[in-house]
Structure 1
Amino acid sequence: MEPEYGALGRCVCCFWLAVAFDIVGLAVLLIGVFVNVFFYDLLIYAGAIVIFLSLIWWVFWYSGNIEVPPAELEDDVGLLKKKKGDLGGLGGAVRRISSRLSSSIRGSFRGNGPPTGGVATRSRRSAAGPQVSPHAEQVSVAMGTVTPQDNFPHTAASSVAGCHVEMPHTATESSPT
């Protein structure tokens, strides 16, 4: 036997919190509008924010009172009992293909390389020939410092505490490989 709920439903506490937030927010907002105080703008903004926060309690109250019959929930949460012949036939084939496809798509979003097995990997190998290694697309850049020569001017750093430090001009260059 299901419990009987009043006119407000299951989440009575959320309902009264939402109403209280609305009343307090509206009162603060109206005080900011109609009372002549120097901080009226603070009251207007605070009242609007409190009214906005009451939406959280309204959503909790509404979503807590949604009633879904258990028969509709069975398939969504995996409570549906599988029969022996459930995975056979056209429905089972479609479910297996869908499962493989979704797992390969999930694997491609993870960034851990290509998914192992699955329809997408097999078709990529057959269409593109041998599988390309992940290191084949990397480009290496060699960097080195150039030693100063006589024709480069020396730059001096500012003197701090009587010490004058000269820094040679250095450059970096990259060469394509």
Structure 2
Amino acid sequence: MEPGYRGLGRCACCFWLAVAFDVVGLLVLLTGVFVSVFFYDLLIYAGAIVIFLSLIWWVFWYSGNIEVPPAELEDDVGLLKKDKGGLSGAVRRLSSRVSSGIRTSFRRNGAPTRATRTEGSRGGATGAPQVEQVSVSMATMTPQGDTPHYAVSAAAGCDVEMPHTTTESSPT
């Protein structure tokens, strides 16, 4: 049996914090408006900011007291009924088909997914072509160096040499 909440609801502390922020903000704001001090503008702005910050506590209090029947929660907490028909069931089936179609198109195009990586590590057939990774190392070039430097790429066991190229720029 659920406890009966009266008056302020479940989040009474948020309610009282919101009221306190409103009262303090209003007192500071009215002090800045009606008392003759040289920093009246600071008090006006500070009071307005404190009143604005009280909105946070009001939102917490309100959202903490929203009551949702368990029948509406069943979809959100994994208690989905599989025998639901009608429009919501059709939309759910369509959404499932579209998302699985997108997943399989990524697999066909060779994009690695979590499922293909785990299946490939177990030795299972993934249906997607195996793609080798090619590592490329690049050297930094200095314009003063006379000796050519080469970047070497190791692809499938063969080395490919690349000629020395530099880019010159004129001083501005």
Question: Is TM (by shorter chain) over 0.5?
Answer: yes
Change (3 A) 1:61 1:101: farther
Deviation at 1:77, TM superposition (A): 1.6
Q: Which has the larger radius of gyration?
A: 1
Runs of 5+ unmatched residues, structure 1? 84-89, 105-117, 148-172
Deviation per CA, 1:81-129: give whole Å up to 9, x if none.
658xxxxxx8997565345357x4xxxxxxxxxxxxx33231x36xxxx
CA contact (8 A) 1:142 1:174 kept: no
Partner of residue 119 from structure 1, selected from 105, 110, 114? 105
Partner Cα distance (1:6, 1:56) in 2: 22
Q: Which residue does 1:143 correspond to in 2?
A: 141
| 1:157-172 alignment runs, 5 A limit | none
Partner Cα distance (1:142, 1:39) in 2: 60
| 1:1-177 alignment runs, 5 A limit | 1-80=1-80, 94=94, 97-100=97-100, 104=103, 118-122=104-108, 124=109, 143-146=141-144, 174-175=166-167
Paired amino acid for 2:53: L
CA RMSD of aligned residues (A): 3.5
What is the TM-score with the length of structure 1 in the denominator?
0.56
Paired amino acid for 2:34: F
| SS of corresponding position for 2:58 | helix
Q: Which residue does 2:113 correspond to in 1?
A: none
Aligned structure 1 segments of 4 or more residues deviating by more than 4 angstroms: 90-96, 130-136
Partner Cα distance (1:60, 1:50) in 2: 16
Partner Cα distance (2:27, 2:131) in 1: 68
| SS of corresponding position for 1:119 | helix
Comparing 20-29 with 72-81, greater Cα deviation is found at: 72-81
Paired amino acid for 2:33: V
Deviation at 1:7, TM superposition (A): 2.2
Partner Cα distance (2:92, 2:44) in 1: 60
CA contact (8 A) 2:143 2:166 kept: no
Aligned residues: 124
Partner Cα distance (2:101, 2:33) in 1: 59
